[in-house]
Amino acid sequence: MFSMLVFRSLTVRGSRIGIALGAILVGAAVVSALTSLYFDISIKMSEELRAFGANVIVTPRSAGQTGGEGTHGIAAETLRAAIGALPQGKIVGASPFLYGVVRLDVANAVLAGVDFQGLRAISPYWQVEGSWVTADFDDRNVMVGRRIAQTMQMKIGSPVTIINRDRTHQVQVRVKGIVDTGGAEDDQVFVNLPLAQRLLDRPDQADLAMLSVIARGGEADALAADLARRFPDIEVRPIRKVSQADGKILDKIEGLMALVATVVLIITILCVNATLTAMVAARTPQIGLQKAIGAGNGSIVAQFMAETTVICVVAVALGLGVGFALAQVLGQAVFGAWVTFRPVVVPLTFGLSFAAALIAAVLPVRGAVRIVPARVLKGE
């Protein structure tokens, strides 16, 4: 009898049930989409924010920290080992830097030895005329800053002679790319690291390294502390401005998503509440008759809860599919990437949607319980 009453209530009043189902479906879809984005937002946003440059710097540990007289630079082997020790999937790019003053054809200039592939990964915002040096072993091509190119009238393909300060090493290279960053790089000449080490007579050395790591503020600190502990010759620290900016942007976006989800759930509650209230009003004679022939308040409450549960389960099942599709649309539109399905979204969406449906049913169920059979039978 109980199952029959629930079935008839759900099928006879199809329009009102459809409104309640649609409201919960929309709420579940939005919650599912935003929850899926929420779990992917840190990774996706961190990847997007890596376009603003490196967020971790590695330098030699100072003499005061090591207790000795300090060393000149960092062993390139140590840098490679430290970079390799980072968790897979966290490192976007990394490049060592070795600086020194050299003589060009007509004036002195700052020489920067780098790994070009890593430099390109950590500096995607650089404007380059010509092209990047694509191979780290290429010692015949260089990249030069915009200002030094203008000062020395360099163009793409121009030959350049680089002479070290002691005039013991000299190489002939060609300009492959002209870099425009608006910073100190515009006054530098970039060559591969081995060539810089030979010209500056500093074999297997680097002054520092810049890393672009996918991590939020606190996670970046933890990664830096772990590397510094494992490699006592180096000091690793996040670039505060970049890390803090990452964290603030992510917090604001996550806060906005939580606000939108909350507003949608409130609207869902109001819509379902109004629908169930109308259903209770329409079913007042039926409820009064049920109570007159012996149905207790518990039976009435159980009937409405069963109906609400069935509506919620169907709506959430449909909403999860719609929500995942919506998450993909938002992921492509905002981040240009697909959103990963995470199983935790299913119970979380169901829990929030079911809680909203139960809250919406509280007042209508209280109204149903308060129906007096005698008044209903009298037609009042």
What does the chain come to in residues?
Answer: 380
**68 shares a domain with 151:** yes
Rounded CA-CA distance 171/140 in Å is 9
pLDDT, residue 176, reads 95
Same domain, 200 and 294: no
Whole-number Å distance between alpha carbons of 23 and 20:
5
- Nearest Cα to 115, choosing from 90, 103, 132, 91? 132
Render 247-315 in DSSP notation, one character per residue: HHHHHHHHHHHHHHHHHHHHHHHHHHHHHHHHHHHHTHHHHHHHHHTT--HHHHHHHHHHHHHHHHHHH
DSSP 370: T
- Angle formed by the axes of helices 14-49 and 2-12, nearest 10°: 80
* pLDDT for position 67: 40
Cα-to-chain-centroid distance, residue 206: 32
Q: Which two tokens stand for residue 309?
A: 């549960």
Same domain, 169 and 83: yes
pLDDT of 161: 93
CA angle 334, 183, 202 (to 5 degrees): 110
- In degrees, rounded to 5, the angle at the alpha carbon of residue 121 between the alpha carbons of residues 116 and 123 is 90
pTM of the model: 0.60
**Alpha-carbon span 105 to 210, nearest angstrom:** 30
> Under 8 Å CB-to-CB from 20, ≥6 apart: which residues?
271, 272, 275, 276, 311, 315
228 and 312 fall within a common domain: no
Among residues 238, 273, 307, the one where a domain terminates is 238
* 267, 310: one domain: yes
300 and 358 belong to one structural domain: yes
- The SS3 call for residue 202 is coil
- Determine the pLDDT at residue 97: 94
Closest alpha carbon to 253 in 29, 45, 33: 45
CATH number for the domain spanning 80: value is 2.40.40.20
One-letter amino acid for residue 288 of the chain: G
Residues 25 and 74 occupy one common structural domain: no
Residues 258 and 117 placed together within one structural domain of the fold: no
CA–CA distance, 57 with 96 (Å, rounded to integer): 10
| Whether residue 254 is found in the same domain as residue 202 | no
143 and 23 in one domain? Answer: no
Same domain, 197 and 286: no
**Per the structure block, which two tokens stand in for 129?**
């005329």
Domain span including residue 191 = 55-238
pLDDT (tens, 9 = 90+) of the chain, 380 residues, equals 546 555 555 555 556 778 778 888 888 888 888 888 777 766 666 666 656 677 888 998 864 443 433 446 888 888 889 888 888 777 888 899 999 999 987 788 999 999 999 999 888 889 999 999 988 888 899 999 999 999 888 999 999 999 988 888 889 999 999 999 988 999 999 999 999 999 999 999 999 999 888 776 567 778 888 888 889 888 888 876 555 555 666 677 777 778 888 888 888 888 888 877 877 776 677 667 666 766 667 777 777 788 778 888 888 899 899 999 988 888 888 767 778 888 888 898 888 888 888 888 887 777 776 766 666 555 55
Q: For the chain, how many structural domains are there in total?
A: 2
Among 192, 218, 238, which residue terminates a domain?
238
Single out the residue in 213, 238, 263 at which a domain terminates. 238
User: Closest Cα partner for 376 from 308, 276, 293, 299?
Assistant: 293
User: Do residues 101 and 111 lie in contact, with contact meaning Cβ atoms separated by under 8 Å?
Assistant: yes
CA distance 96 to 54: 12
For residue 211, what are the contacts with CB-CB under 8 A and spacing of at least 6? 54, 55, 56, 57, 58, 83, 86, 91, 93, 94, 122
Q: Torsions phi, psi of 108, nearest 5?
A: -80, 160
219 shares a domain with 89: yes
